[in-house]
Amino acid sequence: MVSPNLATKKIDTGGEELNDSAKKLFQAVYNDSHRSDEGDDETPRLHVSTLVSKMAFFYEKIRNAVDYEEDHLLRKNAIARILKRQIVIEGLLKTQDTNTLAQHLLEELIRARYLPNNTLPENKTKEVEIILEKYLQLKNECLLHFESGLGLSFDKGKAKNEMRERARLVGWILSMAACEIEENLVLNQIKPAMVNVMFSTLDRIIKLPPELPYGEDLDIQIYLSISRTYSRFDEDMLSFVLFKYYNQGWVDNHIDASIGPNEEKIKSVAKSINLLRQSINFQIKHPLRKQLDRLVRRYALYFTVLQDTISTDPARIYNDFRQNPKSFINAIRKVCNRKYKKAKSRLWRAAMRSIIYIFLTKSVFVFLIEVPAINWFNEPLNPVSLGINVAFPVVLLFIIVMFTRVPGESNTDRIVEGVKEISYVGSERQQPIVLRNPRRRSRAMNFVFNLVYTATFFVSIYFIVWFLTLIQFNWVSIVIFLFFLAFVSFFSIIVTRGVKELLVVEKKENLPSFLLDLFYMPIIMAGKWLSQNASKVNIFIFIFDVIIEAPFKIIVDVAEEWTKYIKERKDNMV
């Protein structure tokens, strides 16, 4: 197979030529597809019992069902959860060295199938140990500075706030550790190349107007926007990106197991930890964030389609392009159609998972709250309202998913043009995209708009309550129905996001869509508020993480040691 070494070869395609960005992506994808993952057969590898692994995997499936997170975040969140349990909870009862912590962490991840079994070399434990040692030292240094700044106070309220801030600080540091461990465990040559190419492209075309004072922030904001839209980082991962940005040299490209953490560097970071967190929070909530995300999301789609097109067979796609550039366009269209079908399939899978999540964490409270509340307030029990409240979340989500349509040909045409813009010589955007000054409305206008928004919300609620009363709902059932309506309405936005991210052709506004936005959007916003606050009191997560997980992991560890003991006995018999 011919290597598409595009950086050095001239392409004769009758006028069409790939630019340097596309060439770099072709080369990165080709190199990654021919990267050998096979190591020395004699290298010791981390191995866990297959039988015990099934227990841990089954537990993770149940636990993830009651804590809705996107699939690409599950492993990172699992690392953070394990670290917090081992260091914060179990650390109160026993002292563990970092080697033991690293060993247990990797074994738990393998058992839960977040990492493949019998694949990672045993020396990976040493790399994770060094990362843990660095963050544990940082935690200890930060707590020393934190406690030295506290005076003697008998104010209970102030003491509680200090304890909360201390817990937030420790949790944040462990989240940074989880992000670095995740980055160390997952080596991907394509994604960094893609991010670098996207950044160089967008940094060239995105400009600020002279009156905006964010010139020094533009580059990092573009990079963060790429991380949000293309890499789909959550807030912890974005914080880690900024953590590395503000602390150059904190993460080395290659960890030398013979060199421990840089203590001077750790002490320096600990001294400025409060200022560092403030700077990170400012960048994450930057005024340019929403405007950039809307713009970068479109280009992230173009680059993703280009990557998927190349990944089918980089050498063949490259050779086909040299012979007939139209074949490249046809390949892009095929990739778009596959992405549409895949998005629809993922939509239904996400819907099913969401239905399970909503039923386990919300619908069950219909029985736990509605029936006792009706009896408590001496209201009549209406089996119809009880059944509707149980079935309504599932039915509403099902209807929303069913009426979610995948993009059409006009959308594909626009994606093709976008891929040409980022990959063809001469098709690059010549005019810069100048960001606008974030609009600031007057207080009077904001007051009027908020008043109208609130009025439409209450109008919508009034007619819903009127209809529910008509079918003999009592006030307890009505409150529960409204909670589910708001919660599922917002949740549907998350579930259908995968399909909507493929849209680059904006839908035309009409009167029905305007009225729907006017009267339904306030309910969605109420659902967002409820979702953010209800997730903080998810009793099932508390039960799993605090009551079940620690003893369950002890049982799993004992079972693992027992299987090793049995194996050793068998080996001794030979």
Q: Give the tens place of pLDDT for each residue, 214-268.
A: 888 999 999 999 999 999 999 999 999 999 999 988 986 444 544 556 788 899 9
In this structure, which long-range contacts are made by residues 255-262, counting pairs with CB atoms below 8 Å and at least 24 apart in sequence? 255/127, 255/130, 255/131, 255/184, 257/123, 257/126, 257/127, 257/130, 259/130, 260/130, 260/133, 261/130, 261/133, 261/134, 261/137
Do 151 and 200 form a contact (C-beta atoms < 8 A)?
no
Contact residues for 328 (Cβ-Cβ < 8 A; gap 6+) = 309, 317, 320, 321
**Among the residues of 5-113, which ranges form H helices?**
20-33, 50-65, 74-84, 98-111
Question: Considering the chain, what is the average pLDDT of its residues?
Answer: 80
- What mean pLDDT do residues 551-568 have? 65
| Predicted local distance difference test score (pLDDT) of residue 7 | 42
Confidence of residue 415 (pLDDT cuts 50, 70, 90): very high
To 10 degrees, what angle do helices 263-271 and 124-148 make? Answer: 40
- Other C-beta atoms closer than 10 Å to the C-beta of 52 total 21
Q: 3-class secondary structure for 391-449?
A: HHHHHHHHHHHHCCCCCCHHHHHHHHHHHHHHHECCCCCCCCEECCCCCCCCHHHHHHH
Where is average pLDDT lowest: 163-177, 231-245, 541-555? 541-555
515/218: higher pLDDT: 218
For residue 556, what are its two tokens?
A: 């799993």
Q: Is 426 left (phi over 0), alpha (psi -120 to 50) or beta?
A: left
- What mean pLDDT do residues 515-537 have? 73
Confidence of residue 150 (pLDDT cuts 50, 70, 90): low
Q: Does the pLDDT at position 199 exceed 90?
A: yes
Strands, E assignment, 279-361: none
3-state secondary structure of 566: helix
Confidence of residue 11 (pLDDT cuts 50, 70, 90): very low
Q: CA 327 to CA 316: how far, in whole Å? A: 11
Q: Does the pLDDT at position 302 exceed 60?
A: yes
pLDDT tens, 20-59? 888 888 888 888 777 755 555 667 888 887 776 777 777 7
Do 486 and 526 form a contact (C-beta atoms < 8 A)?
yes
Do 434 and 208 form a contact (C-beta atoms < 8 A)?
yes
**CA dihedral of residues 127, 130, 134, 137 (deg, nearest 10):** 150
Residue with token string 């790939």 = 18
| Predicted local distance difference test score (pLDDT) of residue 556 | 65
Confidence of residue 500 (pLDDT cuts 50, 70, 90): confident
| Predicted local distance difference test score (pLDDT) of residue 554 | 65
Percent of the chain topping pLDDT 90: 26
Q: What's the predicted TM-score (pTM) here?
A: 0.80
Confidence of residue 362 (pLDDT cuts 50, 70, 90): low
> Closest Cα to residue 453, out of 517, 381, 388?
517
CA–CA distances in Å: residue 422 to residues 161, 200, 232, 324, 455: 50, 11, 21, 19, 46
> Closest Cα to residue 488, out of 352, 343, 356, 358?
358
